[in-house]
Amino acid sequence: MRRILFFTFLIPAVVFTDFAVAGRKDDDLKKIVKSYALRGTLESVIPQLEKFGGVQIVADWRALKAAGVEKTEKVRLRGTNEKFINIVDLLLAQVSKEGKPLAWRQSKSGTLHLTTQAAVLRERFREAESTSPPQTVRSRKRPKILPDVHFEQCRLEDILETLRQAAKVNFFINWSSLETVGVSRDTPVSIRAKNISIAKALDLTMLEINGDKDRYSSVYWVIDKGLVRIDTGEVLNTVMRTRVEDVTDLLRITPNFQGPRMKTSNIGALPTDNGKGTSKKEFDLWEEVEEDKNQTKRESPAELRENQKTQLIECIKNSIGRDMWYPNGKGEIKIFRNQLVITQSLLGWKLMRQGDR
């Protein structure tokens, strides 16, 4: 016998993120640090940096590792009379790898999160998920949690109706489109989970019915014009939306860093004061690197800014695959006066928010 067991409270909206990128605490970020010196591994200098800014800093190690940045990356920074957030930018610039830019974001609690540029953009795409008034589909408050979700071989239609009633938002389900990929109102779905949001419950439902379907045959849920739309990737790829995002902070110009060089002559030496070994003054495995005057001329600020724009565009395109962008796909992207303008299908927007390929 099929049954639904679902215990929860009615909640006012579907919520996806508690990050408020636009609501930064500027006073903390613009604090002037009279003198600073950061030295050690990336993991070890973060607590030092927290003391300078008086804010909590959390590194997204999973995202950083995917960008080639390890906890053991060597860091060496020092300076005077610098804004705290500029020091953060310098740190990220020093450890980032070519073609994989890093960035930061600040939560409403004030915590600073160190992550990748792609991750920051995904959060912003989620914030801009709907072109309708925010109250109809989301709340900036932390979402209420569904304490117990238990669906045991239940009809898909019944599950979606239960979630719709709990969310108190309109659902549009394109059943005729779903049937073309073998999904019907009677498709059985089983989910057991505790303490999840409605968004997560929808994710688990889609995961259950998609199996090993490809990108275009899979079923997705998106928020569009004030309602939750459930459709196939093929259909969603025909509906285009243009969105604009201010990316001024992602286009900050930071200097190119030449990493510290190891003094191989000091490996194995012990610091002493008796003149028989390396002196404390000399004992340093890491030394400053003199600038090579024969190096190619450094790029101008204008050239650096253009490189930043190109790198940002490439980062976004690669996040979902270049086949989704012109000339192979339908999407287009450009930056005009620090405004990121993206035209992409609802499928493309969904994939960007997920960070999937």
Region 236-264: what's the mean pLDDT? Answer: 73
> 27: alpha, beta or left, given left = phi > 0 and alpha = psi -120 to 50?
alpha
Q: How many CB atoms lie within 10 A of CB 136?
A: 16
Q: What is the pLDDT of residues 254-269, one digit of tens each?
A: 655 444 444 444 444 4
> Are the beta carbons of 20 and 124 closer than 8 angstroms?
no
CA–CA gap between residue 137 and residue 16 (Å, rounded) = 10
Residue 274 clears pLDDT 70, i.e. is over it? no
CA–CA gap between residue 161 and residue 163 (Å, rounded) = 5
Token representation of residue 150: 């238990």
Q: What is the pLDDT of residues 288-330, one digit of tens each?
A: 545 444 445 566 777 878 888 888 898 889 889 999 999 999 9
Closest to 37 (Cα-Cα) out of 69, 89, 75? 75
- Output 273 or 54, whichever has higher pLDDT: 54
| Pick from 48-57, 70-79, 118-127, 238-247: least confident | 118-127
pLDDT for the residue numbered 215: 95
Choose which CATH entry (3.55.50.30, 3.60.70.12, 3.40.50.620, 3.40.50.300) describes domain 26-127.
Answer: 3.55.50.30
pLDDT for the residue numbered 331: 95
Is residue 240 very low, low, confident or very high in pLDDT (cuts 50, 70, 90)? very high
> Are the beta carbons of 111 and 46 closer than 8 angstroms?
no
Strand partners, 35: 80
Q: What is the pLDDT of residues 160-176, one digit of tens each?
A: 999 999 988 999 999 99
- Output 13 or 24, whichever has higher pLDDT: 24
Region 69-75: what's the mean pLDDT? Answer: 94
Residue 151 clears pLDDT 90, i.e. is over it? yes
> Are the beta carbons of 247 and 120 closer than 8 angstroms?
no
- Output 235 or 287, whichever has higher pLDDT: 235
Choose which CATH entry (3.30.2290.10, 2.70.98.10, 3.40.30.10, 3.55.50.30) describes domain 3-16+131-236.
Answer: 3.55.50.30
| Reduced 3-state DSSP string for 33-88 | EEEEEEEEEHHHHHHHHHHHHCCCEEECHHHHHHCCCCCCCEEEEEEEEEEHHHHH
CA–CA gap between residue 279 and residue 273 (Å, rounded) = 6
Q: Mean pLDDT in the chain?
A: 79
- Output 59 or 285, whichever has higher pLDDT: 59
Domain ranges, ordered by start, for the chain: 3-16+131-236, 26-127, 241-253+299-354
For residue 279, CA distances in Å to 39, 267, 323 come to 20, 13, 59
Token representation of residue 185: 């109102």
pLDDT for the residue numbered 144: 67
Residue 284 clears pLDDT 70, i.e. is over it? no
The two domains 3-16+131-236 and 26-127 share their CATH topology (first three levels equal):
yes
Strand partners, 219: 232
- Output 179 or 125, whichever has higher pLDDT: 179
Closest to 165 (Cα-Cα) out of 5, 4, 12? 12
Q: What are phi and psi of 265, to 5 degrees?
A: -70, -20
pLDDT for the residue numbered 105: 87
